[in-house]
Chain A
Amino acid sequence: MRTFLIRRLVQNILLLLIISVIVYGILYLVPGGPFDQLNFGAVSAAAAAAQVKRLNELLGLDKPLHERYLSWLGRALTGDWGMSWTVAFGQPVSRLIESRLGNTLLLMGLSAVFSFLIAMPIGILSAVRPYSVWDYVITGFSFFGLSMPTFWFGVMMLIVFSVTLGWFPAGGAITPGKANDLGDRVRHLVLPVLVLSLVQVAGQSRFIRSSMLETLKQDFVRTARAKGVPWFRVVMTHALRNAILPVITLLGLEVPQLFGGAIITETIFTWPGMGRLFFEGISKNDWPLVQAITMMSAFLVVAGNLLADLCYAAVDPRIRYE
């Protein structure tokens, strides 16, 4: 177990390093810097250019790429991601992220829990009665969910439930002046969580269905039935505990999907989270911000996978990592 952990940790650190090189390198292709949009008043273009050059030297932006990368990496390791270029000029990126992190984790966490709680029962139901009317309805639903462009579903929800019916607010996380109103917060959360969950529910319920179908064919299920254990208990205790194992891995692998979905969902619902911050950064060429959020999402992905492996070992005593 320990050797497995150490090997995985080394692999994951390497992976994060590779991602950091890619993300730092690709952004080098993009022209422009933090001071391009500064207004120098009445000075001539040449004088303004000289000022920009001086400021760049001050920040070390004139150094060769590898030197800049190494010093960026060194500072990033201590939690200093530099300052924002355009989204909030001069503010530390870490503070920007800090102010948004909670909202994103809330959105992603709620969607993960919510989608799992829905996918579980409908996946089991399909598997227990395969090719019944229920199964076809659920299968049809998951095909719809998997074929639905998330962003369009979000826009449609917005049009129907907030523009036309006015049931839910059209965006944001709170109504100004109602910071401590729990009902208000929940109303703001409903649509984003619904949109972010849809694709997850569709994929997960298919996965749970096939895993459960596979398990129900096994000998121990027949044995349990033969001993006279009621069908409901066979499904819910004997089969479910085995069928759930591959699902745990799936949940770990879904973290990147969830974060990708968060970028789109937060942009549509103007949810003040990291996903929208990332998109703002991309649109405005705020590279320190983009680099920081990409690295954090990569870290989230890596941590998700590792956690899934550990959970897998914890719930399945047959698994021995060497």
Chain B
Amino acid sequence: MSAQAAVAVAPLLDDEVLLTEEATQWRLVWRRFRRHRLGVAGISVIGAIALACALAPWIAPYTFDKPDTSNIMANPSGAHWLGTDELGRDVLSRLLYAGRVSLSVSLVATTLSIMIGIAVGSVAGYYGGVADTVLMRFTDIMLSLPSLPLLLIFSKALRDFGPVRQALGDNTSVVIIIAVLTIFGWMNVARLVYGSVLSLKAREFTEASRALGASSARIILTHLVPNSAAPIIVAATLGIGSRIIAEASLSFLGLGIVPPNPSWGSMLSGVQAYMFRNPWLAFYPGLTILVVVLAINFAGDALRDALDPRLKN
């Protein structure tokens, strides 16, 4: 009986079975992520919009800055699917070009914020002592600042500062907004990494690594940071959404991306002057922001569950 069973089991040990046994961490994450319909929908929407924006020079029906004075604030038509703006520029084309700016600004600002956050949090958590006190107090101070007033002040001051303007030329507004969003955006990640490193550095594998002679830098970079990846990835995803809104708010107030370069926010700045004549002008850019940020938030939420089911609230 038992000999028969052994014979029956043996053929099962083929490649297929082994493959499932060896499913990687990321494959498991992906499997859990797929179960979230809203998360998958979110990722698809972001992917489609990002792709369309990236391809804007090839697929946009017009350029973003070509005025058509005979066709100002036209209603949607076959020639202009979403109509034209106050200078006769095609709204759809501008939305696509604006997406390039809005998406890349928030992507770069988020990446930089996360790098700073990881550096500050891991050094403070790993070394403790003075490094901990100084860095984390500084983080607390930054967290308790009134952020929007300071974002506005920094944007304005840096923009009017001659040397910055000379050094950056046409890119001034883009670089400044990335800079201010980074300066005021790294603290949450720093706290996340700090907490995670504090608990990880007491674990056995860290001790084992140290016993084997690994340097502090190596322990931080190969053990502590990768093991904190789950909350960092979730924070990064959600952070892109909040930075899109922050960039749009600053640009709306005229202190972010400046015309003629369009961003989704700058397309809305000054729109109040036209809202009586053509309210739709104000509608599309904001709707785009809402859809993109909503998609990012759904994706981030699904990612949180997929990466670490325990994080679910």
Contact = CB atoms under 8 A, between A and B. Distances in A.
A155 interface: yes
A112 interface: no
Q: Which 6 A-B pairs have the closest CB atoms?
A: A260-B148, A152-B286, A147-B293, A147-B294, A29-B161, A210-B313
Residues of A contacting B: mostly: helix
Interface of A: 15, 18-19, 22-23, 26-27, 29-32, 143-144, 146-153, 155-156, 158-159, 163-164, 210, 213, 256, 259-260, 263-264, 267-268, 278-279, 282-283, 285, 290, 293-294, 297-298, 300-302, 305
B160 interface: yes
A282 B153 contact: yes
B297 A156 contact: no
A260 B250 CA distance: 11
A282 B149 CA distance: 9
Contacts of A210: 313
A153 B162 CA distance: 35
B275 A158 contact: yes
Contacts of B279: 159, 163-164
Contact of A155 (B147, B157, B254, B286): B286
Contact of A256 (B146, B156, B252, B283): B146
Contacts of B156: 30, 282, 285
Contacts of A146: 297
Given A149-B290, A268-B272, A29 B158 contact: yes
A210 B313 CA distance: 6
A210 B252 CA distance: 34
B12 interface: no
A151 B249 contact: yes
A165 to B, nearest CB: 12
Contacts of B245: 147, 149-150
A173 B153 CA distance: 26
The prevalent SS among residues of B at the interface is: helix
Contacts, number: 133
Contact of B297 (A19, A147, A149, A213): A147
B49 interface: no
B160 A26 contact: no
B149 A297 contact: yes
A32 B160 CA distance: 10
Contact of B149 (A163, A260, A267, A268): A260
Nearest to B158: A29
B130 interface: no
22 contacts: A30-B157, A143-B298, A146-B297, A147-B245, A147-B293, A147-B294, A148-B290, A149-B252, A152-B268, A152-B290, A153-B286, A155-B282, A159-B279, A256-B144, A259-B149, A260-B148, A264-B249, A268-B272, A279-B152, A282-B153, A294-B149, A297-B146
Contacts of B293: 147-149
B193 interface: no
Interface string B273-304: 00110010011011001100110111001000
B275 A159 contact: yes
Contacts of B241: 147
Contacts of B283: 156
Given A144-B294, A149-B248, A294 B275 contact: no
A6 to B, nearest CB: 17
Nearest to A144: B294
B141 interface: yes
A289 to B, nearest CB: 12
A18 B141 CA distance: 9
